[in-house]
Amino acid sequence: MVFGQLCSAATNDELQGVERDVVVLVARHWNGIFLDPKLFARIDALHVQRDTLGLDPEALRVLERYHLDFVRAGARLTDDERVRFAVIVERLASLGTQFGQNVLADEQETVFALTEGEMGGLPDFARAAAAETARDRKLSAPFAVTPSRSSVEPILHFAKDRGVRKKIWRAFVLRGANGNKNDNSKIIKEIVALRAEQAGLLGYESYAAYKLADSMAGTPAAARGLLEQVWEGGRTKAEADRLALQGLARSEGQSAPLEAWDWRYYAEKLRLARYDFDENELKPYLQLEKVVDAAFFVAGQLFGLAFNPRSDIVGYHPDVRVWDVMRGGKVIGLFYGDYFARPGKRSGAWMTSFREQSKLDGDQIPFIVNTCNFSKPPEGQPALLSLDEARTVFHEMGHGLHGLLSDVTYPRIWGTNVVRDFVELPSQIYEHWLEESSVLARFTHVQTGEPIPEALLERMRAARTANSGFETVEFVSSAILDMDYHSQPMEGSVADFEKAVLAGIGMPREIALRHASTHFLHLFSGDGYAAGYYSYLWSEVLDADGFRAFKEAGDPFDPATSKRLHDFIYSAGGKRDFADAYRLFRGRDPAVLALLEDRGLVTAEAAGGPPHG
């Protein structure tokens, strides 16, 4: 687990070489366990007798999950099928590692030196970050950006120079698709074919059917149904916004049609015109240190936790900080925070662990890591976050708490070791507390120390769904592409397949996929989110509906609701069926209405019903 984090957050050529060798050895190790017929015979015998063994509910659940693990890993295959299955698993591990390394290489090897004029329109925080990148890369130019998301987003939102926006956008969307040594097109075709063969060996009609058989959704049809329900509302809203953006662009002298590299730029202007809200007004209040402290504060209010700095513990990089996590005067875990982008670190944000919680061999407390990719400010200056970046801190803290609060005996069902479309619930529901009044009151201006003005907060809330059509379309289109890759035969090139899927759903020309195929790390750097990217939306149904429980209680920190959230969602791991866990927390099945309302896609009267349909 430590090595895996180093390869994601602090890698180099030597580590990557070791990684390419090690992933095959690890895959072979697990094949040796899951494809051992004698070992499976023992587990299978226990499974047959499970109701007569006198097991407590947690032990029974562990037996059932392990038995299912073995079956889904090929334990019931014939000897010849097991040999082929093992070859596929090893090859997929190798391909996934190469895919991720290729994306990182395209991000690291491509850098754009920019002049003062090309930086026109960029706010101070973005200029400082671009200047820092130029210094890091030892360039003579005053500014520089890379194709990583944290570097690209400010350009797309604020750069006045349309040519600059276009070239940076193209580099961003073409990661892994440049026809160079880092091109991932052939890797994708092989991965998709091998996954289909793997599913066929196990008796499934598609890889999506295989993956979703062990999920809350249950079937690709159920997942696709939710995606399509949200897609229609998102596309309708995006198309209405497109007309307004095109009109705004024309009013500013842009005669050319609106393009994908224009959308964010004019969306910022449209939000300002409609709501008098410029998100940059919030940045001086959203200092990274204060946002992290606010996330800790919420954990204290909900779950009685305290975070104490441990300056004596050295991280794997100088940017990494460590805290003891305390409850009732007792250390229950360690928390590592790694927040800044840098060379050798892949894009995105994630939670991982260095040690899992369990009680099987003594009381083993968890060591949890949150990793983000915020632009690092010049030495001595505070890091200022956007509202979306602040949400990312809360999102990853939600994952972190899912690990830190785990209270199980067996590591198989600890913390985040749950089905994919449940694992995002603890992270996504935690985002809601960022915009609660008592939390926002903790943010003060970096220079004046004044709190956020109420008038600014009112404009922020009014503009909350300002660009939700775009956000819905770019996400749901990526999730549908994922489902189609893993549900149907892939014909032609990767580019042709992607184009056909988007044409089939009526993708607006001016909006790009949130993750194009060749840099879709969720899908192809491993199998965790393969045929599972929909899970963010499935979990959003749960989190939007679940947070309503606090609203109904009239208190965002209502003790009774907090206890149910702790007992059935955050601490329970995989102790029970996940639909049952949600019902125990909420008192009923979830309704999709809250999600649609939160995204501004419908009014309360226009929707309802559970995600299962």
In this structure, are residues 452 and 282 in contact, taking their beta carbons and an 8 Å threshold? yes
Length of the chain: 613
Please state, in angstroms and rounded to a whole number, the distance separating the CA atoms of residues 288 and 372. 11
Given 153, 396, 471, 498, the catalytic residue: 396
For 472, phi and psi rounded to 5 degrees? -65, -45
Please state, in angstroms and rounded to a whole number, the distance separating the CA atoms of residues 491 and 485. 10
Side-chain half-sphere of 175: how many Cα atoms within 13 Å? Answer: 31
Which residues lie closer than 8 Å to 289 by C-beta, 6 or more apart? 382, 383
Helix 260-275 × helix 162-173 angle, to 10°: 120
Which residues lie closer than 8 Å to 134 by C-beta, 6 or more apart? 113, 141, 142, 143, 144
**Is 540 annotated in the active site?**
no
Closest alpha carbon to 76 in 31, 37, 27: 37
Please state, in angstroms and rounded to a whole number, the distance separating the CA atoms of residues 543 and 431. 9
| 350: alpha, beta or left? (left if phi > 0; alpha if psi -120 to 50) | beta
Collapsed DSSP state (helix, strand, coil) of residue 253:
coil
Please state, in angstroms and rounded to a whole number, the distance separating the CA atoms of residues 442 and 293. 9
Please state, in angstroms and rounded to a whole number, the distance separating the CA atoms of residues 387 and 394. 11
CA dihedral 439, 433, 368, 18 (to 10 degrees): -110
Please state, in angstroms and rounded to a whole number, the distance separating the CA atoms of residues 355 and 353. 5
Please state, in angstroms and rounded to a whole number, the distance separating the CA atoms of residues 15 and 177. 24
CA dihedral 215, 221, 226, 228 (to 10 degrees): 150
Q: The sheet that has 367-374: what strands, in order across it? A: 306-309, 321-327, 330-340, 367-374, 350-355
How would you class 15 by CB atoms within 10 Å of its CB: exposed for 0-12, middle for 13-18, buried for 19 or more? middle
| 108: alpha, beta or left? (left if phi > 0; alpha if psi -120 to 50) | alpha
Please state, in angstroms and rounded to a whole number, the distance separating the CA atoms of residues 609 and 613. 6
Q: CA Rg, the chain, in Å?
A: 24
Active site residues: 396
